[in-house]
Each structure stands twice: as structure tokens, then as C-alpha cells.
């Protein structure tokens, strides 16, 4: 929790200069800021008439594996459950351990080691990276981001979403802030709520962020349905929920008043149910406007939950910030009327990673990869929509060489020091260095909030994830053949690390 707070407070030392560029309009009865921009489609008439699908990507923040109804949770998520049951549940799907790195994976389609930002926590994306939003806009899409960015906006406006491929942006730039105050780091801190590059925090103080982000998403959908061309929409709806601080309207907390005694767990559950209702409202707007029939909706968490913040990854081991399954195996599904009846209502256990969405979405958009750096992701559309076997056979979760490692346990002299690394190859998972032994098995509060210690396995761990998804049986000492095989794979990746140091000068007001 200390590390989580440090991430949230980090942005309080960085200030930016923002430029006024847009007029104000209101949500509901209040004037709100019009975050739409005049945009001339670059798409040809033939492309506009080709029926390219709308793509709606919904990201939940810090949602735990054990916090959705279809994973047998006490938390009520009827809309998420229904959408997942109508589509394809991705049950072998991974991201990073922290918020910003997963968003970096999504936006670039690249592993962290190839972006130069492979440290514990990063909140910046190099200006040299090409984003999926830029490529979708190039393919003719109207691109909109609502909610959390967390990829460098506090450094300078060049890092802001409108300069990284989004035609419109309404949301916040940092890692977390007050749900009602929209300020970072406390009531006296700077506001962090923007309409494109214009600060609008005071206009929305006292309004709950899940509500205002949902209203903005609905507004974008309704506005887009009235456009004269058949230009497709890419909507990236990146909710603040259910990240700390734990704040929610009372009517949602009352749902669990006599169900969950623990205060943190009860508020977290209420926040999740509120977000679930919001997702239902957005999908209803897609349906009422006629856009749903040609829409692919992707739902994903960014990383595992924090048990001390009310979330649960049970029965998986670990939590946000660590590389056990509870920190990186994510809740995700894809649903769409465009899916074949063959896959609707199925569970997909193929290996899929956050970096895969870049190529997958660009495939749906009939776009091209011209101008992108080498990508680490795969096009998973046939895997998801037709049930085909994935081309992905491995995931480098992360690799950090250097002084953070332990000299003990080195195999055949590989690396002068043990690297800080996590690798998945097929059903096998390798963990090395000082990342091990940080994860436990934590029951949610309604089950007693019991924490089972991990034991002491040393600086190398090897698990058969298919047979042991809870990572209880370390096979590093008994299956040295597989261990050496995975070390060779790790060595191959280590040769591709981008060791350039990114120099970023913050703009100070």
C-alpha cells in the first residue's frame, strides 16, 4: 500500500502549462466542456462505406480476478456478467503489474523492455512511440479517450492524448485523484481533469468521476451516430474505478450494507457495482443509437487488485505490483454481434497479452503497420472470433537486469547477476531475482481476509501454470531441464533490451 501511495503522490511534484483551446458546455443541467474537436476524416469514401466496425475498449483500474460475478464473487456485476456470457471470456490473458505499464503495452503493442521503461513503475511513453490511436485515426477512425491516461501528460502537452492520436480527450493525466475533487494528492493539490488540453477540474468538483466519464462516453456515442459519414469510432473508456481512494455514492454502498462488514471491501464492492452499472448504460446507448450492431467491445482490467484496498485476486497468488498470477492475470472478455455463433458464450484459454490489442484492433480497422516500431503483440482476432489456436507461445512479462538481482542461484554462469525477470513459455512460468516471495494468497474480507504466507523458495521459481495456476508448487529444483530451457529464452530477450535513458524535463508552472 505504501508503494501504491507513492505512485499516486509522485505526480504532485510535477506541474504543467496547459493551453486554452475549447469552449465550455455542460453535463446534464450544468454547462460542460465540449471536448469534441473539428475533425476532417482522412478516410476515403470506399473505406467509409466498407463497414469497418466501431471499437470500444473499456479499461477497469485495479479490478481483481475475484471481483466479478462470473468468477464467483460476492460483488454484483450483472452487466459485465451478461456481456461476458454473450461473448468470449479470456481466461489466460495478461497485462503488467502496474497501471501505466499496462497502458504502455496497450498503446504501443510493445514490451516494456523495448520502450526503455522497464523499471518497477513508469508513467511515461516516449514521443518516438507510435500509438494504436494514431494508427486507427490514420485508418479513418474518429478516436476518443475518456478517463485515465497516465502516460506522461504532466511532463508537457506533447505527451497529452490529443497529441498522441486522440481526436478528443476528457479525463485525467495522472495515476489517481479524488473521485469527487478531481485533485491529485489531497484537497489542496492541483486539479487533474481536462477537456483536451484545457483544465476543467473546478467545473466538475463534487461530481463522481464514474458518472461524468460515463456521460461523456454516452455523449460521444450519440454525437457519432449523427455524423453524416459512416466513419467508424474508436472509444477508449478508461475508468478511474476501482482504484483508490475508496469513494462511492452512498446508495451503492447501501447495496452491501448487510452483506460485507469490512469497510474497505464494502466500498470497493460498491465502486465495482457502480462501474458495472455505468458499463451497462454505455452499451445501452450504443444499442439505442444503432451503433451496437457494428461494434466490437473489449473489456480489460489493467492489473490485479490490492487486497489492502478492498480488492481480491483470490484464489490466485499475489496482488498489484508483483508478478504472481494475482498481479498480472486479468479479467477480460470480448463481445460483439459480429462474433460467430460458434464462439458466443465460450471461454478462451489461449495465451493472450495486453500488447496483442494493437495488431488485433488494427486488423479490424484494415489498417497497416507502416511507421511502427517492431511490435511484440499478435493479431488475436481469429483466436477470439473463431476459436483458432493462437500464434503466441510465450510472454516476457518483464526483465530488469542490473544491481537489483541476486548472485545466488545462477545457472551455468548465465548473467553475472540473477535478473529481475518473469517469463511465460507455454504452460511454464519462470520467476527470478528479488521479485519472488513477495506474493501471498489472500482471501477477501467476506471469507475472513486470511493471508497465507508464500514460504521461502529462494531466488528462482518455476511453475506449471496449467496444472498449478495458484503457484503453490515450485518446480525449480526438480525440473532443471525446463529451467535451463526458459533461461535460454530469457537470455534471448535480454539481448533486445532498449537501455536508452529517457530524458524528460517536466514543465514547471
Residues noted as catalytic: 99, 150
Question: In sequence order, what are the residues at sequence separation of 6 or more whose Cβ sits closer than 8 angstroms to the Cβ of residue 382?
Answer: 388
Q: Measured between alpha carbons, how far is 376 from 353 in angstroms, rounded to an integer?
A: 9
Cell numbers linked to 466: 496449467
Beta strand 394-400 with 441-442 is unpaired
β-strand partners of 296: 55
Q: What is the residue whose three cell numbers read 525440473?
A: 479
DSSP-assigned letters across all residues of 424-440: EETTEEEEEGGGTT---
Q: Is 181 exposed, middle or buried (0-12, 13-18, 19+ CB in 10 A)?
A: buried
What is each CA distance from 263 to 185, 259, 260, 266, 308, in whole angstroms? 22, 11, 8, 5, 11
Q: Measured between alpha carbons, how far is 450 from 244 in angstroms, rounded to an integer?
A: 21
Radius of gyration of the chain (CA): 22
DSSP-assigned letters across all residues of 272-301: HHHHHHHHHHHHHHHHHTT-GGGEEEEEEE
**Exposure b/e, 64-97, CB count within 10 A at least 16 = b:** bbbbbbbbebbbbbebbbbbbeebbbbbbbbbbb
Three-state SS at 142:
strand
Which has the closest alpha carbon to 499: 124, 120, 119? 119
Q: What is the residue whose three cell numbers read 518446480?
A: 475
Cell numbers linked to 41: 476524416
Residue 242: asked if its preceding bond is cis (omega within 30°), the reply is yes
Amino acid at each position: 500500500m505504501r508503494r501504491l501511495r507513492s505512485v499516486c503522490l509522485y505526480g504532485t511534484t510535477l506541474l504543467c502549462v496547459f493551453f486554452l483551446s475549447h469552449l465550455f458546455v455542460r453535463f446534464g443541467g450544468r454547462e460542460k466542456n465540449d471536448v469534441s474537436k473539428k475533425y476532417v476524416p482522412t478516410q476515403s469514401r470506399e473505406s467509409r462505406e466498407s463497414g469497418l466496425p466501431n471499437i470500444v475498449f473499456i479499461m477497469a483500474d485495479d479490478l481483481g480476478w475475484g471481483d466479478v460475478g462470473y468468477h464467483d464473487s460476492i460483488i454484483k456485476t450483472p452487466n459485465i456478467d451478461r456481456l461476458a456470457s454473450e461473448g468470449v471470456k479470456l481466461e489466460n490473458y495478461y497485462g503488467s503489474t502496474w497501471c501505466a505499464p499496462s497502458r504502455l503495452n496497450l498503446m504501443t503493442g510493445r514490451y516494456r523492455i523495448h520502450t526503455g521503461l522497464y523499471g518497477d513503475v513508469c508513467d511515461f511513453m516516449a514521443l518516438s512511440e507510435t500509438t494504436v490511436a494514431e494508427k486507427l485515426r490514420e485508418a479513418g477512425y474518429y478516436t476518443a479517450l475518456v478517463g485515465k491516461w497516465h502516460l506522461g501528460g504532466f511532463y508537457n502537452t506533447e505527451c497529452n492524448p490529443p497529441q498522441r492520436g486522440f481526436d478528443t480527450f476528457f479525463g485525467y493525466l495522472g495515476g489517481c485523484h479524488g473521485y469527487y475533487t478531481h485533485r491529485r494528492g489531497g484537497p489542496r493539490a492541483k486539479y487533474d481533469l481536462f477537456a483536451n488540453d484545457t483544465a476543467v477540474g473546478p467545473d466538475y468538483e463534487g461530481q463522481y468521476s464514474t458518472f461524468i466519464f460515463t456521460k461523456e462516453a454516452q455523449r460521444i456515442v450519440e454525437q457519432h451516430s449523427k455524423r453524416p459519414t459512416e466513419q467508424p469510432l474508436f472509444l477508449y473508456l478508461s475508468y478511474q474505478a476501482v482504484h483508490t481512494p475508496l469513494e462511492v455514492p452512498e446508495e451503492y454502498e447501501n447495496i452491501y450494507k448487510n452483506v460485507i462488514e469490512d469497510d474497505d471491501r464494502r466500498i470497493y464492492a460498491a465502486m465495482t457495482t457502480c462501474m458495472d452499472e455505468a458499463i451497462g448504460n454505455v452499451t445501452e446507448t450504443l444499442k439505442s443509437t444503432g451503433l451496437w450492431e457494428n461494434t466490437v467491445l473489449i473489456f480489460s482490467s489493467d492489473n490485479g487488485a490490492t487486497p489492502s484496498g478492498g480488492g481480491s485476486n483470490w484464489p490466485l497468488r499475489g496482488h498489484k505490483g508483483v508478478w504472481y498470477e494475482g498481479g498480472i492475470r486479468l479479467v477480460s472478455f470480448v463481445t460483439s454481434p459480429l462474433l460467430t455463433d460458434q464462439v458466443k458464450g465460450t471461454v478462451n484459454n489461449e495465451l493472450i497479452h495486453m500488447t496483442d490489442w494493437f495488431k488485433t484492433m488494427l486488423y479490424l480497422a484494415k489498417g497497416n503497420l507502416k511507421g511502427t516500431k517492431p511490435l511484440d503483440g499478435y493479431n488475436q482476432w481469429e483466436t477470439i472470433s473463431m476459436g483458432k489456436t493462437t500464434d503466441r507461445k510465450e510472454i516476457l512479462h518483464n526483465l530488469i537486469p542490473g544491481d537489483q538481482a541476486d548472485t545466488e542461484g545462477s545457472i551455468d554462469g548465465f548473467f553475472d547477476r540473477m535478473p529481475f525477470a518473469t517469463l511465460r513459455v507455454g504452460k511454464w512460468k519462470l520467476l527470478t531475482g528479488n521479485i519472488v516471495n513477495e506474493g501471498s494468497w489472500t482471501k477477501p474480507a467476506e471469507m475472513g481476509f486470511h493471508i497465507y504466507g508464500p514460504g521461502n523458495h529462494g531466488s528462482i521459481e518455476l511453475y506449471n501454470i496449467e496444472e498449478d495456476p495458484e503457484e503453490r508448487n515450485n518446480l525449480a529444483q526438480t525440473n532443471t531441464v525446463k529451467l535451463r530451457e526458459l533461461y535460454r529464452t530469457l537470455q534471448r530477450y535480454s539481448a533486445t533490451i532498449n537501455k536508452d535513458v529517457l530524458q524528460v524535463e517536466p514543465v514547471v508552472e
